[in-house]
Structure 1
């Protein structure tokens, strides 16, 4: 397994932990039921791990110069995918489309902020970067 795959797996796991806690708390707050929050969060953990990894690989393959603008665009593209997944899962688990939409709408703000902070944190970490990308990255900072 090359180092970029290790980096993407590590980023996937750390983001999923942050995202799952956020989903559980929001779902619990909106439904009033902690078990519904846990069901949504746990199911989402599996779907989002796969979707996030694919999203990371896509952005890695189509390399765009590292910048805050790139992080913002990447944040928005991920949030669209993530929110659609959350709405679908929430609707499926609660049986109520409106509840799914409420949970999805609430997480748009929290998840975009958390994701941007996650991206900026990982930007400062060299784990899994080849020497060429590491050198380019540190030249810019």
Structure 2
């Protein structure tokens, strides 16, 4: 199961990064007014976010949130994962946008704008992957 879970987490990392990068590029372009700045921010965060996301997935894989011996219901777990990931992702985006644009206010605007869009997109991404059996030898909710 261990090799299978790594494969699954890598696939989730890649699919989320595609969705997340497109969202960042579009928001950065709109807020900065420059498609070049939007692309630079989006491309810069591909590496940082893939690394951060992979470690976030591994940490949540090892966390066993349970109540009275029962694994935390998937929707609640996905909401908790959404909030922890969004905090990490927003801080990363704000820093990168500030560095690339040279304006801390632009970094803050982009970071705050994507809080809502990314949380919605991430929640649906988690639900999609929860229903997928890719990388799972058998369906066991305790392992998710």
Give TM-score scaled by structure 1 length.
0.92
The match for 2:31 is 30
Matches within 5 A, 1:93-132: 93-131=100-138
Distance in 2 between residues matched to 1:136 and 1:41, nearest whole Å: 33
Say what the alpha-carbon RMSD is for the aligned residues: 1.3
The match for 1:7 is 8
Distance in 2 between residues matched to 1:98 and 1:53, nearest whole Å: 29
| Equivalenced residues, count | 135
1:63 CA drift (Å): 3.0
The match for 2:68 is none
Distance in 2 between residues matched to 1:125 and 1:94, nearest whole Å: 38
DSSP 3-state at the match of 1:2: helix
1:94 CA drift (Å): 0.6
DSSP 3-state at the match of 1:126: coil
Q: Does 1:67 align with 2:74?
A: yes
**Shift in alpha-carbon separation, 1:49–1:136, aligned structure 2, 3 A:** closer
Identify which range, 21-30 or 63-72, moves more after superposition. 63-72
Distance in 2 between residues matched to 1:59 and 1:99, nearest whole Å: 31
Q: Does 1:80 align with 2:84?
A: no
1:136 CA drift (Å): 4.0
Give TM-score scaled by structure 2 length.
0.90
Q: Which runs of 4+ in 1 moved over 4 A?
A: none
